[in-house]
Amino acid sequence: MPEQRYRWKSKHIRQQLLVLNGQKAPTIVLKDATYLNARMKQWKKAHIWVYQDRIVYVGSEMPKHTDASTEIIDCSEKYVVPGYIEPHVHPFQLYNPQTFSQYAAKHGTTTLFNDNLILALQLEQKTAFSLIEEMKTLPQSLYWWCRFDSQTEIDEEADIFSHTNITSWLQNEAVLQGGELTSWPKLLDGDDLMLHWVQETKRMRKHIEGHFPGASAFTLAKMKLLGADSDHESMTGEDVVARLTQGYDVALRHSSIRPDLPKLLQELKELQVDYFDHITMNTDGSPPSFYQNGVSDMLITLAISEGVPVLDAYNMVSVNIARYYNMEHLHGHVATGCVANINILEDPMRPTPVSVLAKGKWMKKEGKEQALASVEFPWGKFGFSPLELDFDLTMDDFQFSMPVGVKMKNAVIMEPYSIHLNVSGDVLASDHDESFLVLVDREGKWRINTLLKGFATNVSGLASSFSNTGDFILIGKSKKDMMCAFKRMKEIGGGIVITEDEKVVYELDLPLKGVMSNLPMEELSKREVELKKVLGERGYKHDDPVYSLLFFSSTHLPYIRITPVGIYDVMNKKVLFPSIMR
């Protein structure tokens, strides 16, 4: 599909003008609406005309010409606000970009900014760009990041994240930012190629999102000089103020592993911060069950409950984000010229909309989901199909002699520990929390074997193709059950499988290259809750198994990781024990 150069072609703009001239009928008129005028930060009364996917008029006049196809919606008892924007989506937390955006739209979030990491790692660039172009046909408005690194250690890093590839990503019109900068220490330490990418991003009038947990004021200042524009890693109100002081736009995060929004807002109130134009909110790509109460609408509810002025709460998930990305002409406003992403509310204190327009199409109408809210996406066309593995595991792959294991401090932070356990047998006892851990190359070329402490006491066998790199994670007390889980995972074309006594006790198939599901979010959420239950009954003591599996290989977190190149010391940037060829 060829890339369209302009958002609206000249002939479409001419047709829009004909609506104002009374020569063509609008498709939808929201009559007598009380709407949020973000430029004046006031509720105003107006009629809102929509023609196809664009707002063509907001004001006191009704159209001179309508026909049988024109929907006139009485909004005299309703409130109209811009479609919400989620600026920080990791669209591969079991769900996929289409199923997540589809679910989000039903809750009023119709514009999303997506991490491109899975596309960069899993697809050839030409195919990835074709997929992005195809997604423009969805009712939701999807934009993308450009990652500068893999967030782990892989042999193909220099090829996948080459200068040519990064430049091509940045030049794609759907890509609106570089980052997030999980590898910012490299930039700070003198990586001039990365600095060049940052410079190129800025030259294109695009932004750089940081990733600076725990950063000092001096580090924040240095990263600002290097080109960072925003950061979402504040954990205290003081962190927010420090970033605002250094000139950053600040995203307040509320996620499954960092549900910080109430605390941050309370502390900002104590610090007398009452100006929110450079503050936004996001959910940081949480697993499915986290979204049972909504997406951006959930954030607005929390913000209002913590005393944020109502209009500021709405602006923090709409115009503030659009302004940051230089997209106010398209998003963030109920205004002439903008894309017709519109939410209709019964009450501003209840931000979950009763009706949702996305690109002028009804996603939800008077509380009822519409047909466009559940369209399918042709994933197979872009190579996202079930895994077909051409190798098996044998007992030779389950030999453990590593002196250093991996200890989980919480769901995502890991540190090294000395192994004293006798691991010569095929089964580990259930009176301790140490398990066998194997990372296997998705092509079967290498493996890494060690012990994992702090995951669970009674998980006999677990196999997962869901991981940061797409390689296979095996965890368990029993080598036979780990092999059984791997075999079943192979049979279903990728997924998460838990076995006990060589029988499957849980499975979730992930038919999109073994890393994403195509189930609707509502169903996937139930399956994730079931995963938590099954693991919890077997001694998993953390809150988020999805993030645990995802981050085993992620080197932006301390202190030790199991990566494709081997067990990796993050703080000292070196491989402690290399992977073994099979």
H-type alpha helices, 343-435: none
Model pLDDT, residue 130: 98
Q: What is the pLDDT of residues 92-112, one digit of tens each?
A: 999 999 999 999 999 999 999
For the record, the structure tokens of 88 come out as: 């920080």
What's the rounded Cα separation, in Å, for the pair 369 and 375? 12
Q: Is the pLDDT assigned to residue 373 strictly greater than 90?
A: no
Q: Is the pLDDT assigned to residue 3 strictly greater than 80?
A: no
Q: Identify the band that residue 235 occupies on the pLDDT scale cut at 50, 70 and 90.
A: very high
Mean pLDDT of the region 415-425: 95
Q: Is the pLDDT assigned to residue 1 strictly greater than 90?
A: no
Q: What is the pLDDT of residues 160-174, one digit of tens each?
A: 999 999 999 999 999
Q: Identify the band that residue 4 occupies on the pLDDT scale cut at 50, 70 and 90.
A: low
Contact between 535 and 549 under an 8 Å Cβ cutoff? The reply is no
Q: Is the pLDDT assigned to residue 2 strictly greater than 60?
A: no
Full-model pTM? 0.97
Mean pLDDT of the region 137-157: 96
| Residue 346: exposure state from Cβ atoms within 10 A (0-12, 13-18, ≥19) | middle
Measured from the Cβ of residue 424, the count of other Cβ atoms closer than 10 Å reads 8
Q: What is the pLDDT of residues 54-80, one digit of tens each?
A: 999 999 999 999 999 999 999 999 999
Mean pLDDT of the region 208-217: 97
What's the rounded Cα separation, in Å, for the pair 60 and 262? 39
Mean pLDDT of the region 500-512: 98
Average pLDDT taken over every residue of the chain: 97
Element (H, E) at 85: strand 84-89
> CB neighbours of 536 closer than 8 A, spacing ≥ 6?
none
Domains and CATH numbers, the chain: 79-369 (3.20.20.140), 393-579 (no CATH)
- Residue 423 pairs in a beta bridge with none
Q: Could you tell me the maximum CA-CA distance found in the chain, to the nearest angstrom?
A: 84
